[in-house]
Structure 1
Amino acid sequence: MTRQRDLPASLDLLRGFEAAARLLSFTAAASELFVTQSAVSRQVQQLEEQLGVKLFERRTRALVLTDAGELYAREVTKALNALREATAAVRASTTPVVRVTTTVTFASLWLVPRLAQFQARHADISVHVVADNTMRDLERNALDLAIRYSPEAAAGAGAERLFGEHVAPVASPALLKGRGVRTPEDLLRLPLLELDDPALSAPWLSWKVWCEAMKLKRPRENRGLAFSHYDQMIHAAIAGQGVALGRFPLVDPFLADGRLVLPLKGRQYATQATRAYWLIVPAPAARRAEVKVFTDWLRDQVAAQANGGKRR
């Protein structure tokens, strides 16, 4: 008979240990679990104290499982997987739920504004959105599908391309009023809103790269603001605080309702992103009726967007 005191005090201790044992790194485990490295280290230490055995050998540049650690890791992994499967089964037996992960920007500017329409047509299906700029493991995190923003090479086998992206300057009508913006040189006299991306992980969203494409020199002094998240920058542009590089089609709705306009009209003022939006649906999730309903709706939205924005 299992006694309560035979179990660890917290499931978090087991999750921290399992991730550290699988990755052989407290730092990598912390990144996966969205906690600090010291938190994972404490979890493992507490678990070792409760069990009365060492689970890891902590070497100078390596983390190595002890014999007891290897045995325990195998059993803990089985137990956690069983819990995940049981949880998914219970959820499936009640209200159907579709769990979607995507980037913060895509969720904020594209997906979430459309979800009210989906819920109106499919009130019996619940949609949970996990907005995160890291690529989560779908199975491990009990997620049904992902919409990822990546180059084709990184999208993975079986990924379905939804649409690409191009970039062009956008601003509020109020900011442009009376400014006489007719050329890229005119535009550079206005405050430029920046994405705070020192590593240039998305160079096509940089004014420096846009200026190079326009064969212009970027002004040394920028009187604009910088933001860590793209959606914040777009809302600043809507508020008239400067000119932003608009990501199309994500910002299409703001041009449609007049909150933003193109200061410079013409394809020659746009640059192409090197990433696209990809749909990833693991086979087990794809077989579920509610996931198929959601992905069919998603494809309809993409098709409608390509046909001029009329939603079906």
Structure 2
Amino acid sequence: MRNENAKDDDAGISRADLPRLDLLRSFAVAARTLSFTRAGEELALTQSAVSRQIQQMEEGLGVALFERRHRALALTPAGETMYRAVQDCLERLRDATASVRAVTRHRQVAVTTTPGFASLWLIPRLARFSADHPLVDVRVSATNDLLNLERAGIDVAVRFCAIAQGMGRPLFEETVLPVCAPRLLQDPARPLRRPADLVRHTLLVMEGHHGMAPMEDWAPWLQVMGLAGIRGTNQLRFSNYNDAVAAALAGQGVAIGRLPLAAALLHAGQLVAPFEGSGHSQRGYFVAAGPQAEANPDARDFIAWLHAEAQRPL
């Protein structure tokens, strides 16, 4: 029988050198959401259980992974380092597990993109690709993290970045304008007739990814309107754009409509644009092919389909 304290022959480390897998998983979710409460909801644990697990991991490492602020969490430099490493390891473990479980090899296209692009633009259109390619499975990894395409086994990435950065072939540029539920226009006590009226309303704001500052998603439009200092009565902040859109649909405030992601909701009348005028965000969506896409004709078909859909009218 192998000694529990023996060194691993391949890695040269003992089991005691690594945190338990359940602690790493809780840490990864807490680091992504920056909330023990939301991490607990996602993991089906209590907030206190997640907090204890993180504390146990910190004690084992001998270093703090989070800064506990008033009603907020932030990763320490050590936490940032661990988060990058854990994300990479878990992604590789998920891919390896999926590969081992596969009984037969299906034709597949693996795609990564942001949660907002996936839910608002890609998924509503995927049925058309499947109808033309019924034997091809599409695996969508919706994340704001920039995955290593080769390491993660990804065929196609749809990246959201600054136009000047250009991470691949351009799909479309983004324009922005405020949007809200139609019923917000029916409140006589808080009219929405001109941009300055936003001071009476809740603003729905994106934050938290890759150094993105609060109100950064509003900045291009506010600059065009000459309203750079406006904040609204209060703000609801979200880490994923589709959550901000969901809040807007529920009538909880005014969001920045990122076109063409929100175009279908505007076309259907589920959201409305209360003001004239839009702004260019100087950002856009780009399609990048992973190293394995060249040998995957279905991936090449998917890339061609993406560009055709981008030109397709609603």
Question: Are the counterparts in 2 of residues 167 and 204 from structure 1 also a CA contact under 8 Å?
Answer: no
Unmatched tracts of structure 1, length 5 or more:
18-29, 43-79
Q: 1:14 to 1:218 in 2, by over 3 A?
A: farther
Larger proportion of strand: 2
Looking at structure 1, the residues matched to 125 and 206 of structure 2 have their Cα atoms a distance apart, in angstroms, of 25
Question: Are the counterparts in 2 of residues 170 and 262 from structure 1 also a CA contact under 8 Å?
Answer: yes
Looking at structure 2, the residues matched to 284 and 183 of structure 1 have their Cα atoms a distance apart, in angstroms, of 51
Does structure 1 residue 271 correspond to structure 2 residue 279? yes
Match in the other structure for 2:47: none
Match in the other structure for 2:304: 296
Does structure 1 residue 164 correspond to structure 2 residue 173? yes
Q: 1:129 to 1:16 in 2, by over 3 A?
A: farther
Q: Could you tell me how far 1:270 is from its partner in structure 2?
A: 1.5
Does structure 1 residue 211 correspond to structure 2 residue 222? yes
Structure with the greater alpha carbon radius of gyration: 1
TM-score (norm 1): 0.64
CA RMSD across the alignment? 4.0
Match in the other structure for 1:70: none
Does structure 1 residue 135 correspond to structure 2 residue 146? yes
Looking at structure 2, the residues matched to 277 and 16 of structure 1 have their Cα atoms a distance apart, in angstroms, of 43
| Amino acid paired to 1:298 | L
Q: 1:154 to 1:219 in 2, by over 3 A?
A: closer
Match in the other structure for 1:181: 192
Q: Could you tell me how far 1:170 is from its partner in structure 2?
A: 0.5
Q: 1:189 to 1:283 in 2, by over 3 A?
A: same
Q: 1:293 to 1:93 in 2, by over 3 A?
A: farther
Looking at structure 2, the residues matched to 202 and 217 of structure 1 have their Cα atoms a distance apart, in angstroms, of 13
Match in the other structure for 1:120: 131
Q: Could you tell me how far 1:210 is from its partner in structure 2?
A: 3.8
| Amino acid paired to 1:115 | L
Q: 1:221 to 1:238 in 2, by over 3 A?
A: closer
Q: Could you tell me how far 1:290 is from its partner in structure 2?
A: 1.2
Match in the other structure for 2:294: 286
Looking at structure 2, the residues matched to 211 and 221 of structure 1 have their Cα atoms a distance apart, in angstroms, of 12
Looking at structure 2, the residues matched to 219 and 176 of structure 1 have their Cα atoms a distance apart, in angstroms, of 19
Match in the other structure for 2:108: 97
| Amino acid paired to 1:196 | E
Match in the other structure for 1:52: none
Question: Are the counterparts in 1 of residues 180 and 272 from structure 2 also a CA contact under 8 Å?
Answer: yes
Aligned residues between the structures: 241
Looking at structure 1, the residues matched to 153 and 12 of structure 2 have their Cα atoms a distance apart, in angstroms, of 17
Question: Are the counterparts in 1 of residues 155 and 291 from structure 2 also a CA contact under 8 Å?
Answer: no
Q: Could you tell me how far 1:242 is from its partner in structure 2?
A: 1.0
Looking at structure 1, the residues matched to 249 and 296 of structure 2 have their Cα atoms a distance apart, in angstroms, of 40
Looking at structure 2, the residues matched to 281 and 110 of structure 1 have their Cα atoms a distance apart, in angstroms, of 19
Looking at structure 2, the residues matched to 168 and 14 of structure 1 have their Cα atoms a distance apart, in angstroms, of 55
Q: Could you tell me how far 1:154 is from its partner in structure 2?
A: 3.4
Question: Are the counterparts in 1 of residues 198 and 232 from structure 2 also a CA contact under 8 Å?
Answer: no
Unmatched tracts of structure 2, length 5 or more:
14-23, 32-53, 61-91
Looking at structure 2, the residues matched to 188 and 104 of structure 1 have their Cα atoms a distance apart, in angstroms, of 29
Counterpart among 233, 237, 247 of residue 258 in structure 2: 247
Question: Are the counterparts in 1 of residues 199 and 233 from structure 2 also a CA contact under 8 Å?
Answer: no
Q: Secondary structure at the match of 2:269?
A: coil
Question: Are the counterparts in 2 of residues 165 and 247 from structure 1 also a CA contact under 8 Å?
Answer: yes
| Amino acid paired to 1:246 | G
Match in the other structure for 1:77: none
Looking at structure 2, the residues matched to 276 and 202 of structure 1 have their Cα atoms a distance apart, in angstroms, of 19
| Amino acid paired to 2:247 | A
Q: Could you tell me how far 1:16 is from its partner in structure 2?
A: 12
Q: Could you tell me how far 1:271 is from its partner in structure 2?
A: 1.8
Q: Deviations over 1:162-186 (max 9, x none)?
A: 0010110001111112545321122
Looking at structure 2, the residues matched to 134 and 300 of structure 1 have their Cα atoms a distance apart, in angstroms, of 26
Looking at structure 1, the residues matched to 107 and 244 of structure 2 have their Cα atoms a distance apart, in angstroms, of 35
| Amino acid paired to 1:160 | R
Question: Are the counterparts in 1 of residues 169 and 287 from structure 2 also a CA contact under 8 Å?
Answer: yes
Q: Secondary structure at the match of 1:185?
A: helix
Q: Could you tell me how far 1:217 is from its partner in structure 2?
A: 6.0
